[in-house]
Amino acid sequence: MMLRNAIEDAEEQLIAFDHRAAKLFKPYRAIAETPAVHAVSKLGDQPELRTIAGAIILAGIAFESDRMVRAGARMVIAHEAATLTKDTLKLQIDRKRPRSASDRSDAKPRMGKSKAKELSSFPSGHSAGSIAAARALAREYPEYGAAALVAAGLIAVLQVPRSAHYPSDVAAGLVIGLAAEAATNALWNLTRMDERSRSGGSEH
């Protein structure tokens, strides 16, 4: 009973924090939706991330760079895994987006099956996809890893002042993205090990 009460209390505090954050930024949403900010935020959307990853693959083919091809392929795989996971959760949980919420109760996630965009606040897909793609890129290009992760973090954080997501939506998205990328990276490494084993351990 004590544990249950503690969990419920933590949930209420988290929802209260989300609601306060939404109220804080809502009056400034127009500023957060300026063309420059909107353009940066859109880089975390599914079509844009797929286009970026695809462009890296094509560049790798054009310049005969296996490393670039691998980076783009890793990004696609990690992004799709993160997207599948967040889509599954979105179809199970209804939560009004901050821009549509009118009171604290609207900030509370509920089990539901709604496909309405304004009830799909949890979790943040931009956050999940961006961090998954950034981490995947860093696997092949560790020298650019910090910059990629900072960019993904910026895209994720911008969702709060834009009133598109609550802080907990963003946090959940980041966790999903990192977990999805870690899982796909493990699978990638197993596949590579199997290929090397079958080829006698030689690298091509």
Annotate 5-69 with DSSP letters as a single string.
HHHHHHHHHHHHHHHHHHHHHGGGHHHHTSHHHHHHHHTTSHHHHHHHHHHHHHHHHHTT-HHHH
64-68, 82-86, 107-111: the lowest-pLDDT one: 107-111
> Cβ atoms within 10 A of the Cβ of 190, count?
10
| pLDDT tens digits for range 135-171 | 999 999 999 999 999 999 999 999 999 999 999 999 9
Report pTM: 0.90
| pLDDT tens digits for range 184-198 | 999 999 987 766 666
C-alpha pair distances (Å), 91 with each of 88, 95, 96: 5, 11, 13
DSSP 143: G
Q: What percent of the chain has pLDDT over 90?
A: 74
* Structure tokens, 4: 């249950």
